[in-house]
Structure 1
Amino acid sequence: MYTQLLTDYLAAHQRLPYIKDTQVIKEVFERNRLKVTDELLDFQLRYAGYFHKFPPHSFVYGLLHKHSEYLPALDLDFDDDNPRRVLITCMDCHPSHARALDARGVYYKDYAPVAENFTKYLMQRALFWRETQTRPWQNIHLAAHVQQAIREEQNGKIEEFMLPQVSDKYSQIYHVRELMIKVEPEQIIAWKVRGSKPQLFYFSL
């Protein structure tokens, strides 16, 4: 079900021209003395050129770009402060929004891992996209004590509401009725159907 959902999500979104010549990709990695792993190459070939927006910002996927707004043309941008975990920028976006992949394909947001791979991250986006096709949703604020309660009950009261197909060890999605919650290592994000009350008691909290 979720594989088809991701296919539908990508089909509904524009894809810009992207670099798909594997020889060019490998040469750029070699020039930077980095190994192009299967996970990184797969990301470039499957997802480069797609993008999403958080107005006024755009996030164009790709490790390499022929033309970009913030990244060097036909080159990599990466953080190698930790040689054991080199983070390669995977989106052309404002530098204040750090988006990267490591050699294993783990996806990082602001230097924190949030998805075991980019496909998992996109499946989460696709799920929310599907929900917004039929009902308008809005972000809601969760007080600190509520966020703490959610973390404490991840293996308890709210476990049954987790969607395992779009969750992993880095981020978990919970959905019931008019409420959706995403738990990440650094934050918890919640949405409700616009006009409804954020009924946290759905989760027995």
Structure 2
Amino acid sequence: MSDCRGCGKVVNVASMQDSQRRTLKIVLAINLATFVMMMGAAWFSRSSSLLSGGLDNLGDAFTYAVSLAVVGSSLQMKAKVAFLKGLLILGAAVAVAAQIAWRLNNPGVPVFEAMGVAGVLNLAANAYCLWLLTPHRNGDINLSSAWECSRNDIYEGCAVLLAAIAVWVFGAGWPDLVIASALLLLFLRSAVRVMRGALQELRGTRCVPCQEESGGPAVG
């Protein structure tokens, strides 16, 4: 047991970090698996929304990998990694924008059955990841930014299912492009949020208070 004089939270730091590592390893494995599944389904169905979802899962896998690497590091290092996560989300947005532009020049109707099956599997996996990360969402910038990525995955999963239904109803490819464009905006918004939070942490404007009555310094 740690010697706790300054902050009551010090005692459980080791177990908290172990819990964070276990959670990140699980969600990392899930996102790698769903990336492979989504990319295969996107190729088969010719769906831009599935492609955007697959790229998002790949970006999340990198996010969870770097989050895992800095568990237990300083707040400054975690903030720098969080900024990198924002850049990864931004990169996914650029890739989705390029795919949308290509599809506009090469129109087609996606296979909605493949979109639907992949969308259901992806949403279920994303919901499980969010459930695992939710207990850590109010922790440090490292886990809170990982939770932000996972929450976006729920929106993305619902959007892909909506795209599949709309393609089936209208028998056209434009709903797929509309949903992909909406996901593009979501990625951009999330990238801005994550990078802003990281910059605030680096500038010292974010505060993780300790128990004020203890009179001791907060432990990072």
Q: TM-score, normalised by structure 2?
A: 0.28
Looking at CA atoms only, which structure, 1 or 2, has the larger radius of gyration? 2
Structure with higher RCO (Cα < 8 A, 6+ apart): 2
Q: TM-score, normalised by structure 1?
A: 0.29
Which structure: greater strand fraction? Answer: 1
Which structure: greater helix fraction? Answer: 2
